[in-house]
Structure 1
């Protein structure tokens, strides 16, 4: 994961997930979004760190990566809050707890 992150993002450290967009149609109206690369060790450590079930953490990472594949990002505060809100809503719809807790 560290090598992929360095090669494709210029960041010399491991990360929990990387998303690689594609624009390939495999049939008419059927498009591949891209690839997700997940780091099992980091996801397992994060599930403990954030007091989440392993299943919930995996679900969250797949949702997070998929949102990147369809164009969402978190490069600034507004984008981050939009993406986090979508992630919360999807996780709740799948009967998981919110991965992000907002303070009012």
Structure 2
């Protein structure tokens, strides 16, 4: 495991070095996603405690998912609510699942990572997608945020290529 990287108040822990190898500038991409979601109406972690982000393996995510959600399988992203007002919560991503999903959807790993960081940040801010109205609101913020980062609409198939000359 690599030491934590601190950016914009967020502890970024890269447990699996494949994240850095596959997404050059991993920490910068995460920081940009968090700043962008605040600009689109999502949580502003400059005004409140920022989350910790763990870029892990599917094995770790599977263990956490089994322990805290009674689901004995990996998933792309898990969020954990803050245990105190001084902490911003946790976002955990599983490398193999995220990479597999990105490839299946023909998205760059950077785009999918950015989307899942935004998705997790919105969950920590109280957004959810269990009801149609909530889902539309959350997806709207995600779409605006990803577009502002130069990616297409995350909810439209085949629309994940990085747009124009915007680089992350």
- The structure, 1 or 2, with the larger RCO (C-alpha pairs under 8 Å, 6+ apart) is 2
Is the counterpart of residue 69 in structure 1 residue 124 in structure 2?
Answer: yes
Give the match for residue 81 of structure 2: 21
Give the match for residue 28 of structure 1: none
Asked whether the equivalents of residues 19 and 34 of structure 1 are also in contact (C-alpha less than 8 Å), the reply is yes
Number of aligned residue pairs: give it.
Answer: 96
What is the aligned-residue RMSD (CA, Å)? 1.5
Asked whether the equivalents of residues 15 and 39 of structure 1 are also in contact (C-alpha less than 8 Å), the reply is yes
Query: 79-88 or 64-73, which moves further after superposition?
Result: 79-88
Following superposition, the deviation at residue 101 of structure 1 comes to: 2.4
Post-superposition Cα deviations, 1:66-104, rounded to whole Å, max 9, x if no partner, equal 1101101111222222111110011011111111129xx
CA distance in 1, matches of 2:108, 2:65: 26
Q: 1:8 aligns with which of 33, 53, 68?
A: 68
- Structure with bigger strand share is 1
- Unaligned segments of structure 1, at least 5 residues: 26-31
- Unaligned segments of structure 2, at least 5 residues: 1-60, 158-168
Following superposition, the deviation at residue 35 of structure 1 comes to: 0.8
Is the counterpart of residue 57 in structure 1 residue 130 in structure 2?
Answer: no
- Structure with bigger helix share is 1
Q: Please report the TM-score for the alignment, with normalisation by the length of structure 2.
A: 0.54
- Structure 1 segments of 4 or more deviating over 2 A? none
Q: Please report the TM-score for the alignment, with normalisation by the length of structure 1.
A: 0.84
Following superposition, the deviation at residue 19 of structure 1 comes to: 0.5
SS in 2 for 1:24: coil
Q: 1:43 aligns with which of 98, 109, 116?
A: 98
SS in 2 for 1:13: coil
CA distance in 2, matches of 1:12, 1:72: 25
CA distance in 2, matches of 1:82, 1:11: 27
